[in-house]
A and B are shown apart, each in its own frame.
Chain A
Amino acid sequence: MAKHRGKGIAAIEYPTGMNQNGDPSQCWIKVKPDGRIDVFAGTADIGNGSKTIQAQIVAETIGVPYDWITYDNSNTDSSPVCTGTFASRATFVAGKAAEKAALQVKAKILEIAGKELEIDPADLEIIDGEVVAKGAPQTRMSISDVAAAATWGHGELITGTGAQLKPYAAIVDPETGRVDSPPHSAISYAACAAEVEVDDETGEVRVLRLQQCYDVGRAINPTQVEGQIEGGAMMGLGLGVLENCYPYYPSVEHRGGAFGSYLAPGMEEMPQIDTILIENPSQDGPYGAKGIGEMANNPQPPAIAAAVYDAIGVWITELPITPERVLRALEEKAAGKHEPRREGKKVVFDEELSVNTVSSGGIRFEVPA
């Protein structure tokens, strides 16, 4: 007849980009006669903020104010290939393509400016939308003037393209799973501590607090990173204690067909969420960025499961940790049936769930003693 609090921890890792690569993203950029910059890419913005991120990368790389950039991902006629917004790749892969395209644009701007100023482009740099001679800042030319000169004087289009692709890493050994080249070019890491309160009579679990640390490589836009992490945390909370398409899995009965019967997390379930970002740069991502969009819902469920154990002394390893599962586990514990089987040096949990119990003559999980 009480509410119990508990704490748990989990640490996770997650790859960036498609698991075995082979997933190109491309970008092309053109510069208008007044120096304003049009970026074309095929990356869908599903809310993750890739329009903003790629525009930031281009502005930074060329050296112009952010509001000089227009970004167009609207259709497959004008935009080059992007495999898609999944696999946490929109910043890491597609953002890299944008960086590469921007570097080409920058080189072209410096080349035209070099002709105009009669200075070796290698001795020029771009600062705040102006081409400036290194060491002689009084010698300068605005990018607007460079673009005008290219358009009306040199008869040139300042443009750039970029493509990012790691070739497909084929599995060469189906026995061992070894691949012929590295399949993931950056791995992101996170740790999460959860604090929960469990009502031992109704079985209700409330998540009170999530403290999380993510290695994001480089936060191109810290607010958007927080947005991914906070949104992921609530989705992870849903995975941990609320959501289930098949409430009687493996049965398909009683599926919820409405928000009233499928428990997506609501505002009132929001715990306190603390976010710590670590920037341990990746070798391959734009400005050292890694992708953290997907992993943001991975560490909460195990942290919550450990916190529930800490609170009431039962392991619930089927998700979500519903009030019913809590009460059933507590009932088993009271009946002395929740303890693992110990045999020699083996400690065996969850035997009732194992294929060894449920399959008849089909598949077994053999563990050497």
Chain B
Amino acid sequence: MKVVGARIPRYDGVAHVTGRTTYVDDVRVPGMLWAKALRSPHHHAAITKLDTRPAAELPGVHAVITWEDVPLLEYGHLSALGIPADEPLLAKDDVRYKGQPIALVAAESEELAAEAVERIEIEFEERPALLDVRQAFDPEAPKIHQWGNWYPHFEGGMDRRQIRKGDVAKAFEQADVIVQGVYRPAAIEHAPLETQVCLVVPEPNGRLTIYSCTQALYFSLGVVAAHLQVPLNKLKIVGGTTGGGFGGKVDTATETMTSLLAMKAGRPVKWRWTREEEFLCSSTRAPWHMEIADAVTKDGWILGRKMLTLHDSGAYARFSPYGLTKHSFHHTGAYTIPNLEFDGYVVFTNRVPTTAMRGFGVTSVSFAVETHMSRIADVLDLDPYEIRLRNANRIGDTSPNGIVYTDPSTVPTIQAIAEATGHELSAEFRTMTNEPRTGEWLPEHLVAQLGNPEEH
């Protein structure tokens, strides 16, 4: 093999370093209009009045859209998986986060569009906001979502993602020590250097050409087609070159609304978010609340785990149910724990909806599980490398949801780091492998969880 494994330069490297790569904002078409959005100034409020006429009447304004202009107002990020939708493309009766789009204007210049937005007459009746996921379940918590304060549509009508494996009660009974902790990673802005942007050109044949920074051309194609209620051949998404994404550009944040403006104006329209909009109005990585209790033996075997996760979804569901499920499947980290009881909730709050970001669903649980592991090692006065190696995933072990591991590398990666850092491992940990468990590596509590890797 010569090409695979070779250090070939980027396919688009020369274009990047000469400024020739064409990003969406670099596309030039004649007659283009600029879009600007009216966004909610409140975290939670009813919309009591909305009059866009003063904006529409401004000379140079060619289109104004509100929720009334959207053929299918609610289409969820996970609708393709049969999961119901909860978020209107443009706010209708109420706003549930500061920055939520309510109306858009397309005008001859960006300045004029901004001026037109300022002319829209709107009134609100503020409502109490819910911000702390831990208080969402309290009887006196404000009700902020049509489905209740947490997502109720998991399989079987469940209001939470559950994992049950083995016998947790027995594990905690047998434990020498139970270590309990709480872990709370923060909301993170994707902050790609290219902000959200799209340009929609109505074509003479009735199609729309959508220049998009999406990370997912076909996913966005489906989302726009659904909102517009048109077949896929009415739309052409042009993209494939994105100025950074990190998960935030799977949201299809601009394409549909800009398409509606272009259709209404009959002219090309560009909507480019400012950096401030990107920071304050675009979706973020979710903040998570995780509580872990581990049943541990004094020599460092983890017999069982109980875990509660509250996933701060922000105002709407978006991808959060997917993210929480992924989170639950990986809540044992790189280790094999045979007895599990996991409960996770997607909780709504009055902040910008959270979405996928690099490591979606797992970055959070990796932080929780690994910090917890270090704590357990400290509480038991054990070597932090060796307690990890002891519990490491091995070939033939099973995941929280019963999948058999076929190529786990917890063992060699930790051994490599031990060697690199000069951390001395005792002989048994230095020489162990990821091969199926036998002998001292197969204590009684791990026998029942074993699966057959050949059947995977």
Would you call A176 and B163 a contact (CB within 8 A)?
A: yes
Which residues of chain B are near A309, meaning CB under 8 Å? 374, 378
Question: What distance in Å separates the Cβ of A366 from its nearest Cβ neighbour in chain B?
Answer: 8
B interface SS class: mixed
As a 0/1 sequence over residues 211 to 223 of chain B, the CB contacts with chain A under 8 angstroms (1 = contact) are 0001111110100
B272 CB-CB contact with A under 8 Å: no
Collect the chain B residues with CB atoms within 8 Å of residue A176's CB: 162-165, 401-402
A11 touches B414 (CB 8 A): yes
Given contacts A246-B287, A306-B371, contact A178 B401 (CB under 8 A): yes
Task: Determine if A77 and B236 form an interchain contact, defined as CB atoms under 8 angstroms apart.
Answer: yes
**Cα distance A249–B356 when bound, in Å?**
19
Most A CB atoms within 10 A — which of B10, B136, B217? B217
Chain B nearest CB: distance from A101 CB in Å? 15
Query: What is the minimal beta-carbon distance from B261 to any residue of chain A, in angstroms?
Result: 21
Q: Is B183 an interface residue (CB 8 A)?
A: yes
Q: How far is the CB of B316 from chain A (nearest CB, A)?
A: 16
Q: A12-B366, A360-B138 are in contact. Are A46 and B236 (CB under 8 A)?
A: no
With known contacts A175-B164, A251-B131, A354–B414 Cβ distance under 8 A: no
B242 within 8 A of A: yes
Q: How far is the CA of A114 from the CA of B121 in the complex (A)?
A: 74
Contact A257 B279 (CB under 8 A): yes
List chain A residues, Cβ under 8 A from B374: 8-10, 302, 305-306, 309
Contact yes or no, A183 B403, CB < 8 A: yes
Interface string of A251-282 (1 = CB under 8 A from B): 11001111100101000000000101010111
A179-B401, A183-B329, A249-B287 are contacts. A11–B185 as well, Cβ < 8 Å? Answer: no
Q: Which of A13, A47, A60 has the most CB of B within 10 A?
A: A13
Cβ-neighbour of A44 out of B138, B242, B363 (below 8 A): B242
Q: Are A45 and B242 in contact (CB under 8 A)?
A: yes
For the complex, give the distance between the alpha carbons of A87 and B245 in Å.
12
Any B CB within 8 A of the CB of A76: yes
CA distance A368 to B5 in the complex (A): 51
Q: Which residues of B contact A75 (CB under 8 A)?
A: 217, 236-240
B244–A46 touching, CB < 8 Å: yes
> Is B17 interfacial (CB 8 A cutoff)?
no
* Chain A residues with CB below 8 A from B183, complex form: 317-318
Q: Which B residues lie within 8 Å of A82 (CB)?
A: 216-218
Kindly state whether residue A142 has any CB partner on chain B within 8 Å: no
Contact with A along B1-19 (1 / 0, CB 8 A): 1111111111110000000
Contacts of B243 in A (CB 8 A): 47
A19, A217, A255: the one contacting B325 at CB < 8 Å is A19
User: Which one of A159-167, A184-192, A326-334 contacts B?
Assistant: A184-192
Chain B nearest CB from A117 CB (Å) reads: 24
Enumerate chain B interface residues (CB-CB to A < 8 A). Answer: 1-12, 43, 81, 98, 129, 131-141, 154-156, 158, 161-165, 168-169, 172-173, 175-189, 191-192, 214-219, 221, 232, 235-247, 249-250, 275-276, 279-280, 284, 287, 289, 291, 293, 306, 308, 310, 312, 322, 325-326, 328-330, 333-334, 342, 345, 349-351, 356, 358-363, 366-371, 373-375, 378-379, 384-385, 388, 392-393, 400-410, 412-414, 416-417, 420-421, 423, 456
Query: Which A positions have Cβ atoms within 8 angstroms of B?
Result: 7-15, 19-20, 22, 42-47, 49, 51-52, 55-57, 59-60, 65-66, 71, 73-77, 79, 81-87, 168, 170-171, 174-179, 182-184, 186-193, 211-215, 217-224, 232, 235, 238-239, 243-246, 249-252, 255-259, 262, 264, 274, 276, 278, 280-283, 287, 293-299, 301-303, 305-306, 309, 315, 317-320, 340, 345-351, 353-355, 358-363, 365, 367-369
Q: Which 8 A-B pairs have the closest CB atoms?
A: A84-B216, A362-B137, A302-B370, A215-B409, A73-B240, A189-B409, A174-B156, A350-B182
User: 23 interchain pairs (CB within 8 A)?
Assistant: A13-B333, A20-B325, A42-B217, A43-B240, A44-B240, A45-B242, A60-B2, A86-B245, A221-B6, A250-B349, A257-B275, A262-B191, A297-B358, A297-B359, A305-B374, A345-B176, A346-B178, A353-B182, A354-B291, A355-B289, A360-B135, A362-B135, A365-B291
Q: 16 other contacts beyond A10-B373, A51-B12, with CB at 8 A cut-off?
A: A9-B374, A9-B384, A10-B366, A19-B329, A46-B246, A76-B218, A81-B218, A176-B164, A187-B408, A189-B408, A193-B423, A257-B280, A278-B416, A318-B184, A349-B375, A359-B134
